[in-house]
């Protein structure tokens, strides 16, 4: 049985717009703070966070792309810029000769550590200090549910 979708309700549209405004506002403020405090953009921070948490501080480029949810070309261009700033290093994977290993450099780790304090402080100021325990649980449940749906194959069929 095929179900047809009707438009979303006014209440749903308002909730979506609120979510969008919140997400953009938080990301903008994070980006500004990270640039001011550590000279890193929010995308730089996302890449460095993934690498800093990876075993040995390195990942295959395709794994890194999946982790930060970026397309191959965006990741490649961004990594080149980060490599030029000595935040990451790239080297060809010797086992297949095509893929790349990406690793965090000492400069990158120092910048990431400095940025992490600013990142966490701002998140606490903007979000966590404003939510009580029940709201935090709701936020976690909502994001988990939506993220599971993003992984569903049927969403890619449209």
On whether residue 5 sits in a domain, the answer given is no
pLDDT tens digits for range 27-69 = 999 999 999 999 999 999 999 999 999 999 999 999 999 999 9
On whether residue 8 sits in a domain, the answer given is no
Residue matched to tokens 């295959």: 60
**How many structural domains compose the chain?**
1
- Residue 60 in 3-state DSSP? strand
Distance CA 51, CA 4 (A): 43
Give the pLDDT score at 51: 98
Q: What is the pTM of this model?
A: 0.85
Domain that holds residue 69: 14-153
Q: Please give the order of strands across the beta sheet that includes 100-104.
A: 58-60, 100-104, 88-92
On whether residue 2 sits in a domain, the answer given is no
Cα 104 from chain centroid? 16
Average pLDDT score, the chain: 91
On whether residue 7 sits in a domain, the answer given is no
* Residue 155 predicted with pLDDT over 90: no
On whether residue 142 sits in a domain, the answer given is yes
- Residue 95 in 3-state DSSP? coil
pLDDT tens digits for range 134-148 = 999 999 999 999 989
Distance CA 72, CA 76 (A): 6
């Amino acid at each position: 049985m095929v179900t047809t979708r009707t438009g979303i309700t006014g209440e749903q549209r308002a909730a979506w717009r609120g979510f969008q405004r919140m997400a953009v506002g938080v990301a903008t403020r994070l980006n500004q703070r990270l640039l001011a405090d550590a000279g890193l953009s929010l995308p730089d921070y996302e890449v460095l966070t993934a690498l800093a948490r990876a075993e040995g501080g390195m990942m295959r480029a395709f794994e890194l792309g999946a982790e930060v949810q970026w397309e191959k070309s965006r990741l490649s261009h961004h990594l080149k810029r980060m490599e030029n700033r000595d935040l990451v290093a790239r080297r060809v994977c010797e086992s297949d000769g095509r893929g790349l290993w990406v690793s965090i450099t000492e400069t990158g780790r120092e910048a990431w550590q400095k940025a992490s304090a600013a990142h966490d402080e701002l998140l606490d100021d903007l979000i966590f200090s404003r939510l009580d325990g029940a709201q935090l649980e709701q936020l976690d449940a909502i994001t988990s549910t939506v993220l599971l749906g993003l992984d569903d194959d049927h969403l890619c069929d449209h």
